[in-house]
Amino acid sequence: MLNKRIEKITIQILDEYKINELPVPVNEIAIKRGLEIKAYDLGEDVSGVLVIKDGLGFIGYNPTESKVRQRFTIAHELGHYELHNKQNESALFVDKQFKVEFRNQDSSTGEMSREREANAFAAAILMPEKLLVKEIKNHHFELSDDDNLQELAKLFNVSVSAMTFRLMNLKLLSQY
């Protein structure tokens, strides 16, 4: 699946629920999509799971990880649900401490793996381009300034590294 398509799907979801406030209420979105969310003892090396049984979806997240990480995990599992499993009656996704960062492929025909797709979905829904541009402008943030970058990440309730990769993928921040 192309990154552009994933961006479009997340915008449609955000528009459907008229979400304009920050931080993006990802749990609320997942619940509205029919998913149940629960803290779950997954073992220390598992960040999250998506279970679909008899057409009903359940997201389990690891409560011992940081809050921003939990949010990203829930967004990632929602990505699997929206992009990969919606029509399935039963499916199981188990995510071991996956990396938050991903790079967009330069080639416009570059297809992404499912894990990269779920990460792209998570980044796009937690940090919508439109809201990012608006906040950067309103706050007069200088993205080369570490304090500003941290403040921006805080507004969106994401980690600084997730924010940095998102800004690079959107070409709002130049790659190192």
Residue placing its CB nearer to Zn ion in the complex, 68 or 149: 68
Encoded tokens for 14: 């955000």
d(CA 62, CA 51): 14
Stretch that binds Zn ion, among 33-41, 90-98, 131-139, 166-174 (CB under 5 A): 90-98
Torsion sign over Cα 107, 111, 37, 86? positive
Beta-bridge mates of residue 51: 58, 92
| Gyration radius (Cα) of the chain, Å | 16
Task: Determine, following the binding rule CB under 5 A, whether residue 117 of this chain makes contact with Zn ion.
Answer: no
Q: Under the criterion CB under 5 A, does residue 82 sit at the interface with Zn ion?
A: no
Which of 14, 95, 127, 132 binds Zn ion (CB under 5 A)? It is 95
CB of 119 to Zn ion, least distance (A): 8
118 binds Zn ion (CB under 5 A): yes
Rounded CA gap, 33 and 20, in Å?
Answer: 18
Q: Does residue 7 touch Zn ion according to CB under 5 A?
A: no
**What mask, x for binding Zn ion by CB under 5 A, covers residues 96 to 115?**
-------------------x
Taking alpha carbons only, the member of 164, 175, 163 closest to residue 22 is 163
**Cβ pair 47, 97 in contact under 8 A:** yes
Residue 74 is a binding residue for Zn ion (CB under 5 A): no
Residue nearest to Zn ion (CB): 95
To the nearest whole angstrom, how small is the minimum distance from the Cβ of residue 117 to Zn ion?
Answer: 9
Give the interface with Zn ion as residue ranges (CB under 5 A): 95, 115, 118
